[in-house]
Chain A
């Protein structure tokens, strides 16, 4: 069942269109990703859903509520982790949670919440003395303190080291398993692929596709890449004439052969016939990045 419905959302800033006719629905209990490059309109989209901005067009329903008209009620049901939002330097973690808990009718037990987020021993620590990962977890705690039905997490792991990032991912899965619908805004392919049940791909304010990670990948399925460094000069034409090969690119000493079917076998056979050794041979399956390039014509991180 859909808990969020966005239909033809339009938002313009100073005549610049930030979001241009985006529609999608988020089902109850899923982790829904909003993926796209920086400046694609992801944050604007979710901030309209949160009721922080008034859309210039389209309709939004969150759990049956209109984010602008039913502001107060929406805020009680929606937990928000904002991109770049801090707390006062000297507030203690426990104080911040206790304060925010007092804003809601039926808040979660903040001590239990801190323990779940691995911050039990930080309750008396001042905010300014926390590490980046800890601040991010406090931010998640504040988003969950009101026992929301939906949690919107914006650029959750930006600036975190790889270990903290993986810990945070586990946390997001726990949130979903506890029955909270999660909307995850990210520009990390790996994050979206690992966590999301479904992903909305957004580029330049427009919705490119909505599908499961596997569904998106299957749109470019069958495509693979073989990457290697030929030990001796190799006539590229020998490869391009193979039926399995769609194209060949040269990256310095490396060759990247893209194609379908039994690509690896076809390429290695040619090499063997010409007695050329392939060093550093790797085979790569198509992933979300390839899907993104195929769907938008450009790379995600540029």
Chain B
């Protein structure tokens, strides 16, 4: 199993576009936004926070959503299309291991991406880091797992790699919208914000842990439930060829 993860990790590193988007993009976006003076000046409309302070949680959403809803379903669907999964099923190792390895690679990439973002937040912009690190970590992990489960569900149901890409993009857009990646969340109407708090990857819990309180178990519970349900349905309905 370790060898499969290691191999998949190497393959991930060899796809420059994947690495750039999943690992570097959120940090680069922060640097670009932070280079604009207006966005790093405290503003009373944001409750005397700077735009970049408020936007960091959205950058975390971008990183997690890309890994779970773009990289994962397109890779898995193309593995099925090319017969990579089928070839696995002729060996003593079940092809499900390859999917598990993909999710683990996502977790590693996600951790690196977010740590990098945090380091730049702290070192360059003096942005407050999460005050409840454990809660933040658990939320990120559950958030990524729930998005990965949704990504696998898309891969399970899409007839081919191209439509997997298309369907995943729709879910990706929704997650990004509710997660405040397009418009900062304080600009969204209240009812959308409430929905967004509960949807994967759990913006509500991310913000709570950022502000220093332990994440609401209800938020985490929803993420765990999505992971469990989507993961189970994906596993049951997955077509290996």
Contact = CB atoms under 8 A, between A and B. Distances in A.
B87 A99 contact: no
Contacts of B92: 72, 75-76, 103-104, 146
Interface stretch (A80-88, A157-165, A167-175): A80-88
Given A50-B90, A90-B15, A104-B92, A99 B7 contact: yes
A95 B9 CA distance: 12
B11 A88 contact: yes
A226 interface: no
25 contacts: A50-B90, A52-B86, A52-B90, A72-B92, A75-B90, A76-B92, A78-B90, A82-B90, A85-B82, A85-B86, A86-B84, A87-B82, A87-B84, A90-B14, A90-B15, A91-B7, A95-B10, A99-B4, A100-B91, A102-B3, A103-B91, A103-B92, A104-B91, A142-B87, A146-B91
Binding site of B, secondary structure by majority: helix, strand, loop or mixed? helix
A142 B91 CA distance: 10
A52 B92 CA distance: 12
A99 B11 contact: no
B83 A75 contact: no
A98 interface: yes
Nearest to B4: A99
A100 B88 CA distance: 9
Nearest to A50: B90
B79 interface: yes
Contacts of A86: 82-84
B36 interface: no
B108 interface: no
A98 B2 CA distance: 13
B89 interface: yes
Interface size of B as a range: 10 to 19
Interface in B1-41: 3-4, 7, 10-11, 14-15
Interface string A44-84: 00000010100000000000000000001001101010101
Contact of A91 (B3, B11, B83): B11
B53 to A, nearest CB: 39
Q: Which 3 A-B pairs have the closest CB atoms?
A: A85-B83, A80-B90, A86-B82
A82 B83 CA distance: 9
Contacts of B11: 88, 90-91
B59 to A, nearest CB: 28
A91 B79 CA distance: 12
Contacts of B4: 99
B93 interface: yes
A8 B142 CA distance: 51
Interface string B65-97: 000000000000001001110110111110000
B3 A98 contact: yes
A80 B83 CA distance: 13
Given A75-B91, A87-B82, 4 more contacts: A52-B86, A87-B87, A91-B7, A95-B10
Interface string A83-127: 011111011000100111011100000000000000000000010
A293 to B, nearest CB: 34
A269 to B, nearest CB: 59
Interface in A242-263: none
